[in-house]
Structure 1
Amino acid sequence: MLQSQLCKEQDFQRQWYADAFMKLKAEDALLSLVNNNITDQATAPLERLAYRFHRKLWEWCYIYEALRERGALQPNKKGLGFGVGTEPLTAAFASHGCRITATDLDFEAAKAQGWVATNQHAVSLQELNGEGICDPDQFANLVTFEYADMNHLSPSYEEQFDFTWSSCSFEHLGSIALGTQFIVNQMKCLKPGGVAVHTTEFNLSSNEHTLDHTLTVLFRKRDIEHMVERLRAAGYFIDVDYTVGIGPIESFIDMPPYTHHPHLRLQLGQFVTTSIGLIIQKIH
């Protein structure tokens, strides 16, 4: 069973990854995301690759598998997604019969932060089933879309959901402290026994210096450890494996302007970052 961990090259060889990759139509979703975001972040359109080592694919597959193996993806289970953008997870969860509330930042705020211009913001239900993963009628029946401020969660969400998720969203809340507070706060949205799965940026370069109080912050190991302490103190369960992979592909660092192949680790400012996945369970 998956646990909280860093993105690793070896995961791309696992059967769970292959199964999730096919279910999510992840290649098509990634091509759409990257090729509609050709700004200073990429030099040329991403073409179909024989083998795809991209951390965004890992995040989607990791979230899907972590929820699947914990029994969350069953008919009438209720899920709450944050900062969903145009990712394929909403449609995949609905295809299992889950009732999904998908949320994103309101349009004007997202536009001001650049998410609209780079095709990373959702404004309609149709965009959340763009790859046709879920039957359209079933999708329309099971999925609702709302605007939500992750720094100010609605009290109406409290103890309403069997699972919550986000894919590299809470590092954009303004600071490490705000991102940490979001993770603690969103646990209140879960029913007893519920599970939260979230991915974010992990600073591989330093446990001292990092990016903070910027549009994108980088969580150091000590920041994650502080978050874990707060979660455990509140009665939640989380166990983290901080092992860093040393494979040849994950040792490559994608530098700006990004090629996205491979893209397990990348340079942000003066730091090298990758993704970390967090699985948190609400026991009581």
Structure 2
Amino acid sequence: MLRFFKILLGGLPDRIRRAEDRLRLITQHQAAMSLAFDEHRRETRTMLTALSLPDPSLWRNQPPLVPGQPAENAFPAATMCRQSSFEEPYFSFWTARLGEALRYHRKLWEFVFICQALWERGAVKPGLRGLGFGVGLEPLPAFFASEGCEVVATDLSPDAAAAEGWIQSSQHAMDKAALRRPQVCPDDLFEQNVSMRQCDMNAIPSDLVDFDFCWSACALEHLGSIERGLDFIVNSVACLKPGGWAVHTTEFNVSSDTETVDNMSTVLFRRSDLEDLATRLNAAGHHAAVFDFEPGTKPVDVYIDLPPYRAEPHLTVALMGYATTSIGVIVQRGAA
């Protein structure tokens, strides 16, 4: 028996060595497969882009920046991002007012949608109070402050943001200074009108109340599930005074009203999800703006941007297997 164990132990180093060799070989094969997959993805993207990218004359250096003013009734309904919005004079006005470059990009549309929707509802006036959720590095706190609004801008704590990967992606406001936009709001006015709070959108602090308006730009789809995102919208309305306005933008699944992505770090809302939300809000005595689910049909609308995403055009994108664009939500708090 002793001799058997000596033989067994004597061969152990060789077996360990062979196992290590096999592990190295597996690792090498995985690396090779990953490189091949990346190459295939790039080649596929190049091919599909060549087949589907609109003629550059339709989007490069387009639309032109034209003189304009805020519109009186640009967004009577909660609507989807569409190319036609970018070509309106009010869109040029808001782009310049926010210190942005005019381009066909859905993130710019979200900023313009929020500003225009609140403006035409009379929510952007000196002395009114605004609450921003998950503000990141967006220009909206500076803009509202420049109009004399008292703004509380919120974002995740640094530790939570680091855990979620937002700091690494440069999409998190570490402090109030990160929100300064001198070209949008003079520093003295910004200092006077903006304060910064840490806030988990899944657990809004109970003292964040009595605001005239609140907003979020493409943040609520990162709360862990469709249900949590919808709950956040409902909870955000509770932060408002009676008659106050909540305006949010989020990801919208253009491909399907049945299949979607849920219970992940990014979720995709469907038409049925948003219709259920409107029913829930209206039943609680609030007023949810009717949704306009008509997709755009212009060349930049129908182009689907593939990862790694382009700087423009970027209105509809391929996200986790679905065509996705941005959609806005507009809610007025009821009298109760």
Normalised by the length of structure 1, the TM-score is: 0.90
2:293 maps to 1:265: no
2:93 maps to 1:93: no
**Residue in 1 that maps onto 2:162:** 111
Of the three residues 85, 104, 127, the one matched with 1:11 is 85
Contact 1:254/1:260 (<8 A) preserved: no
Could you tell me how far apart the structure 1 residues matched to 2:122 and 2:334 are?
A: 14
Identity, in percent, stands at 46
Could you tell me how far apart the structure 2 residues matched to 1:223 and 1:235 are?
A: 19
Structure exhibiting the larger radius of gyration computed from Cα positions:
2
Report runs of 4+ in structure 1 exceeding 3 Å deviation.
Answer: none
Could you tell me how far apart the structure 2 residues matched to 1:114 and 1:247 are?
A: 35
Of the three residues 256, 269, 272, the one matched with 1:219 is 269
State the secondary structure of the residue aligned to 2:274: helix
State the secondary structure of the residue aligned to 1:273: strand
2:330 maps to 1:279: yes
Contact 1:202/1:219 (<8 A) preserved: yes
Alpha-carbon offset, residue 283 of structure 1 = 3.3
Alpha-carbon offset, residue 145 of structure 1 = 0.2
**Residue in 1 that maps onto 2:35:** none
Alpha-carbon offset, residue 10 of structure 1 = 0.2
State the secondary structure of the residue aligned to 2:232: helix
State the secondary structure of the residue aligned to 1:249: helix
Could you tell me how far apart the structure 1 residues matched to 2:309 and 2:182 are?
A: 25
Alignment coverage as a number of residue pairs: 260
Uncovered stretches (5+) of structure 2, i.e. residues with no partner = 1-72
2:244 maps to 1:194: yes
Alpha-carbon offset, residue 246 of structure 1 = 0.8
Q: Which has the higher contact order (CA 8 A, sep 6+)?
A: 1
Q: How does 1:1-284 map to 2 (within 5 A)?
A: 1=73, 2=75, 3-27=77-101, 52-130=103-181, 132-158=183-209, 160-238=210-288, 239-284=290-335
Could you tell me how far apart the structure 2 residues matched to 1:256 and 1:194 are?
A: 38
Residue type of the alignment partner of 1:110: A
Residue type of the alignment partner of 1:283: G
Q: RMSD of the alignment, in Å? A: 1.0
Alpha-carbon offset, residue 70 of structure 1 = 1.0
Post-superposition CA distance 1:203-240 (Å, at most 9, x none): 00111111111110000111111111111111111211
Could you tell me how far apart the structure 2 residues matched to 1:223 and 1:105 are?
A: 25
Could you tell me how far apart the structure 2 residues matched to 1:278 and 1:180 are?
A: 11
Alpha-carbon offset, residue 130 of structure 1 = 3.5
Contact 1:190/1:282 (<8 A) preserved: yes
Alpha-carbon offset, residue 131 of structure 1 = 5.0
State the secondary structure of the residue aligned to 1:267: strand
